[in-house]
């Protein structure tokens, strides 16, 4: 895992743990956790069951500051400036409920399971509303996850296989 975000990530996860918030680390940071190959990311993406479950008072007390809000996301900054994006996308509810736990220092992180991450990356990679560069990164992440764990290919639907296959054309 990239070390530059580690202090902010650990502080964030302590706040979420202490406030009994159900969550899952998702996005590029989850890709970093699930594979050994280097993967950079600008922010920490966190899925939560609902916007109301974000512990705003506890985050503020820990040095995080609110930035802006969108339909399914709320953006914050850690004390060191690391962007943190919370999402309450209903499509991630199952992934939040089934997140796996990974221990780093004195903190247990809840991270999206690799199979759920693969499906989420493919869903994001096929979303025409996203910038092309973001979609391509999502599809590259999905391919990298399969390369690192070939057994994940068995998890793919026919449409997901076709989407990844289109990368090779």
Tens of pLDDT, residues 45-89: 999 999 999 999 999 999 999 999 998 899 999 999 999 999 999
Q: HSE-up of 161 (CA within 13 Å, CB side)?
A: 7
Rounded Cα distance between 169 and 167, Å, is 6
Range of the domain at 24: 1-112
Q: What are phi and psi of 41, to 5 degrees?
A: -155, 145
Residue whose token pair is 């910038």 = 131
Question: Same domain, yes or no, for 13 and 53?
Answer: yes
Per-residue pLDDT in tens (0 to 9) along the chain, 169 residues: 567 889 999 999 999 999 999 999 999 999 999 987 778 888 999 999 999 999 999 999 999 999 999 988 999 999 999 999 999 999 999 999 999 999 999 999 999 999 999 999 999 999 999 999 999 999 999 999 999 999 999 999 999 999 888 876 5
Question: Same domain, yes or no, for 117 and 100?
Answer: no
Question: Same domain, yes or no, for 43 and 125?
Answer: no
Question: Same domain, yes or no, for 107 and 26?
Answer: yes
Rounded Cα distance between 90 and 145, Å, is 23
The first and second tokens of residue 22, run together, are: 């159900």
The pLDDT assigned to 168 comes to: 61
129 CB contacts (<8 Å, ≥6 apart)?
none
Domain boundary among 93, 112, 131: 112
pTM above 0.85, yes or no: yes
Judged on CB neighbours under 10 Å (0-12, 13-18, 19+), 95 is buried
The first and second tokens of residue 50, run together, are: 């609902």
Helices 132-148 & 27-34 angle (0-180, nearest 10): 20
The pLDDT assigned to 2 comes to: 62
Q: Any idea what DSSP says for residue 152? A: G
DSSP string, 100-143: EEEEETTEEEEE--HHHHHHHHHHHHT-TTS-HHHHHHHHHHHH
Question: Same domain, yes or no, for 100 and 165?
Answer: no
The pLDDT assigned to 3 comes to: 73
Question: Same domain, yes or no, for 153 and 108?
Answer: no
Question: Same domain, yes or no, for 22 and 90?
Answer: yes
Q: What are phi and psi of 101, to 5 degrees?
A: -105, 135
Give kind and range of the element (H or E) at residue 33.
Answer: helix 27-34
């Amino acid at each position: 895992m990239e070390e530059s975000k580690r202090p902010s990530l650990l502080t964030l996860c302590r706040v979420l743990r202490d406030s009994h918030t159900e969550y899952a680390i998702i996005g590029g940071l989850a890709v970093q956790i699930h594979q050994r190959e280097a993967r950079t990311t600008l922010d920490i993406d966190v899925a939560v069951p609902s916007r109301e479950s974000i512990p705003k008072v506890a985050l503020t007390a820990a040095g995080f500051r609110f930035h802006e809000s969108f339909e399914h996301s709320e953006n914050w900054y850690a004390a060191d400036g690391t962007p943190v994006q919370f999402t309450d996308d209903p499509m991630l509810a199952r992934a939040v409920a089934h997140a796996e736990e990974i221990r780093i220092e004195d903190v247990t992180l809840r991270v999206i399971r690799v199979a759920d991450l693969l499906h989420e990356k493919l869903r994001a990679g096929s979303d025409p509303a996203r910038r092309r560069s973001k979609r391509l990164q999502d599809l590259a992440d999905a391919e990298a996850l399969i390369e690192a764990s070939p057994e994940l290919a068995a998890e793919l639907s026919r449409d997901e296989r076709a989407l990844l296959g289109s990368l090779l054309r």
